[in-house]
Chain A
């Protein structure tokens, strides 16, 4: 069920890299001084003069905050369909955002594909993303587009409550934010307070319940002795082993774990949020074109491909994520996006994540 991994680049380029690596000791030991002319070939570090480049020199360089095993097959499909050559750099979305901020305008990257909106907002606020064409922005509902038009949502990821089916009945599992902080779950609920998707959820709470309401909710969660984890996959693992009864995660983590362990072997099950409640928040993955990719036809072609029927269907069928382009079938076995009917908020507002983190911190939940 899970997409099998394939090599992202042709074998030739790989062995060239290997050869370059073999040179390293020689270079490092013998030629420390001649750093202007390193003995290592530089396939992808030419810095494109952003403003007036219209030709696509060299391969399209994609900075991906989404895992290689998730998107490499899709990028390969894109290469086959378009004849465009790509080079993909993988790391977490937040790390990529920090990398892009540090590189600034010298970044060799052309496109930033992100696991969540907050990282795109951060890079966009630093002026490192370029405005996308109107027709691209118009292809998904307005709530999933940056206010300044610098990034566009690709897929939706629902916040869900994972529960240990051996300890808890499905009917008892909370599906509203009010029920989540019920004292009966004291010590039995896992959260990842430093994780970007939890912070996006807190921002949504602030937007719907007000600052005081969100603060009160977080304090109640802390008073309930919530167990704090580093990330979603660790929470799911804890629910799956019965360490905690409930965990707040994103829905698709369950599907990749089920692909690994067999769906029938999963102790952890999911409950989706109730209609209109913040517990049913749908967060977006998205893409933006970096300054270095401005004017590149291949960068735009890649964004278009992600929003095409092929691209959208790929995420729905292999990752169980919600297509954001209207009219494309949603993932099987997952409640449809319309029925989730999450809270009425604009994802661009999720950029105020630093304030959310401060609130979490004051409640005594986070480690930061």
Chain B
């Protein structure tokens, strides 16, 4: 069966839209004096920055897998006490902006540089792995494991040969998100004083005003992000397609004597990822002696604006992701793969560059909407479409094609059949993708600063303004509110992963 031309056209349109910021990069680089770009690129520093970022990505990805997969196992397959509570708590670090976590760790510990960046980035991005792997473990076909055991495999080998291939795609998808997050994150490496690529881009723009250098470095970042995406695709191709049918619930693994160590481990992670940032902010707020008017009204308004923009960005991202995700789930052809990969083009761009490209493109194409919320919503959607597309793909691929075909034979139109069957079964997954976009958009800073309507604040922009003048006490309520607001989608995501256990 071939994909319908309409679907392909829609997917193509989405991808073109997502890739537009890269056009700006091309235009700007073409406008630079001859040789400026090459001169900027061919410096020893470019190599050392690349190695730094690659090393950071490798360490953070490994760290998120090393913590995320065992955590997911505890949550999905054992008789861990207070499992539902842990399910939520292990997802909530997603709500903590990396720059807030970084600031807290720097205030409290002597951790700096490479390892400081690794620790903070691992803490905030481990849920990207934990959530999908938990869901995948719930879905995993446990009979295969049981069969492996009866054939004489030890528990470890049985897990490796029977279960690991089934959770590898989920782990890979999660690790991909963590890796891409690391590539484009600026807040943590700046606070930790680790010379990574994004810091260099920022310095080139804001310190030395070297636009050619900033743009060239951005191109390298985009390329780096694409390499990571392609690597994940290659791994996914080798992994087995996820089994669509879940076979009865197996008895959970009894933790026995491991109950206490497991609980201590999860508690430690929660304190490190959630407790440290929140406590630091609260303490800063208490010790502040600055006399300020209460900002309650303003805080409330910024919270409302943050939520509305986040939700609108999420809705648009999910809409754009639908055709791409459906194609990717149903047709594993080369051209579909290329389309899916292209959605990540915008993802490697530093926020400031994405912001500038949106400024340029809006003024060139639709000046009427410049500095309106619409541009910001569009920017969020373009930045985070890949996050939504991954979830759509995973959700749709779990719905057997045969169900949709049955609906067709019963007289439904293709679109009708899709909505009646696949759409209905896949929508929780699509919604989960949108939630992931919403919570990421709420924390977004550089593009928001560049594109927001004049006079409009989000929680993140206000937080930035206050910390920039060292007014940490006044900034604290914004940080805590941002974490609280972003916790709602994080909570819902954890529930989504949990529900994978109950067949719908």
Residues of A within 8 A of B (CB): 1-2, 4-9, 13-14, 17-18, 20-22, 24-25, 27-29, 35-38, 40, 42, 44-45, 47, 61, 67-70, 87-92, 94-95, 97-99, 101-104, 106, 108, 118-119, 122, 193-196, 198-199, 227-231, 233-234, 236-237, 241, 243, 253, 256-257, 259-262, 265, 353-354, 356-358, 361, 366-368
Smallest CB gap from B456: residue in A:
A17
Partner of A106, one of B209, B367, B372: B367
**Given that A91-B449, A94-B207 are contacting pairs, would A45 and B367 also be in contact in the complex, using a CB cutoff of 8 Å?**
yes
Verify if B406 is at the interface (C-beta below 8 Å from A).
Answer: no
Partner of B195, one of A101, A122, A367: A367
Please determine whether A9 and B455 come into contact, CB atoms closer than 8 angstroms. yes
Please determine whether A7 and B471 come into contact, CB atoms closer than 8 angstroms. no
Partner of A368, one of B200, B373, B466: B200
Please determine whether A18 and B305 come into contact, CB atoms closer than 8 angstroms. yes
Which 8 pairs of residues, A with B, have the shortest CB-CB distance? A357-B208, A194-B203, A94-B206, A368-B203, A194-B207, A367-B195, A230-B190, A25-B312
B residues less than 8 Å from A24 (CB atoms):
308-309, 312, 373-374, 377
* Listed A/B pairs (18) with beta-carbon separation below 8 Å: A4-B293, A20-B372, A24-B312, A28-B381, A35-B368, A40-B369, A67-B469, A89-B455, A98-B352, A101-B211, A196-B209, A231-B468, A256-B470, A256-B471, A260-B472, A361-B43, A368-B203, A368-B208
C-alpha gap A1/B292 in the complex (Å) = 9
Verify if B210 is at the interface (C-beta below 8 Å from A).
Answer: yes
**Interface bits B45-83 vs A (CB < 8 Å: 1, else 0):** 100010000000000000000000000000000000000
Which of A25, A61, A87 is the most central at the interface, judged by chain B CB atoms within 10 Å of its CB?
A25
A residues less than 8 Å from B205 (CB atoms):
94-95, 98
**Interface bits B184-218 vs A (CB < 8 Å: 1, else 0):** 00000011010110011011111111110100000
Which of A70, A91, A97 is the most central at the interface, judged by chain B CB atoms within 10 Å of its CB?
A91
Interface residues on B, range: 35 or more
Interface contacts beyond A69-B469, A353-B207, A366-B203: sample of 13 additional A-B pairs, CB < 8 Å, sorted by A:
A8-B455, A9-B455, A35-B369, A38-B368, A40-B372, A88-B455, A92-B468, A94-B206, A94-B207, A95-B206, A228-B193, A234-B191, A256-B471
Please determine whether B372 and A90 come into contact, CB atoms closer than 8 angstroms. no
**Given that A21-B308, A35-B369 are contacting pairs, would A257 and B208 also be in contact in the complex, using a CB cutoff of 8 Å?**
no
Interface of A is mostly: helix
Please determine whether A97 and B209 come into contact, CB atoms closer than 8 angstroms. yes
C-alpha gap A214/B148 in the complex (Å) = 70
Query: Closest approach, in angstroms, between the C-beta of A231 and any C-beta of chain B?
Result: 8
Query: Closest approach, in angstroms, between the C-beta of B437 and any C-beta of chain A?
Result: 13
C-alpha gap A40/B374 in the complex (Å) = 8
Query: Closest approach, in angstroms, between the C-beta of A117 and any C-beta of chain B?
Result: 12
Please determine whether B367 and A7 come into contact, CB atoms closer than 8 angstroms. no
Partner of A2, one of B107, B309, B471: B471
B residues less than 8 Å from A92 (CB atoms):
206, 468
**Given that A102-B360, A253-B470, A261-B288 are contacting pairs, would A95 and B374 also be in contact in the complex, using a CB cutoff of 8 Å?**
no
Smallest CB gap from A261: residue in B:
B289
B residues less than 8 Å from A106 (CB atoms):
363, 367, 370
Partner of B368, one of A5, A42, A102: A42
C-alpha gap A45/B319 in the complex (Å) = 28
Query: Closest approach, in angstroms, between the C-beta of B95 and any C-beta of chain A?
Result: 21
B residues less than 8 Å from A20 (CB atoms):
372-373, 453
Partner of B289, one of A5, A253, A262, A358: A262
Smallest CB gap from A39: residue in B:
B374
Please determine whether B208 and A194 come into contact, CB atoms closer than 8 angstroms. yes
A-B contact count (CB 8 A): 226
C-alpha gap A38/B449 in the complex (Å) = 22
C-alpha gap A103/B110 in the complex (Å) = 42
**Given that A35-B368, A102-B356, A106-B363 are contacting pairs, would A95 and B450 also be in contact in the complex, using a CB cutoff of 8 Å?**
yes
C-alpha gap A88/B371 in the complex (Å) = 13
Within 8 A of A (CB), among B269-306: 287-293, 295, 298, 301, 304-305
Please determine whether A40 and B208 come into contact, CB atoms closer than 8 angstroms. no
Which of B193, B356, B455, B466 is the most central at the interface, judged by chain A CB atoms within 10 Å of its CB?
B455
Query: Closest approach, in angstroms, between the C-beta of A203 and any C-beta of chain B?
Result: 11
Verify if B439 is at the interface (C-beta below 8 Å from A).
Answer: no
C-alpha gap A6/B308 in the complex (Å) = 24
Please determine whether B373 and A70 come into contact, CB atoms closer than 8 angstroms. no
Query: Closest approach, in angstroms, between the C-beta of A51 and any C-beta of chain B?
Result: 18
A residues less than 8 Å from B295 (CB atoms):
5
Smallest CB gap from B209: residue in A:
A122
Verify if B433 is at the interface (C-beta below 8 Å from A).
Answer: no
A residues less than 8 Å from B363 (CB atoms):
103-104, 106
A residues less than 8 Å from B377 (CB atoms):
24, 28
Please determine whether A40 and B371 come into contact, CB atoms closer than 8 angstroms. no
Which of A90, A106, A229 is the most central at the interface, judged by chain B CB atoms within 10 Å of its CB?
A90
Please determine whether B369 and A22 come into contact, CB atoms closer than 8 angstroms. no
C-alpha gap A102/B298 in the complex (Å) = 30
B residues less than 8 Å from A234 (CB atoms):
190-191
A residues less than 8 Å from B469 (CB atoms):
67, 69-70, 233, 256
Smallest CB gap from A196: residue in B:
B207
Verify if B504 is at the interface (C-beta below 8 Å from A).
Answer: no
C-alpha gap A103/B449 in the complex (Å) = 15
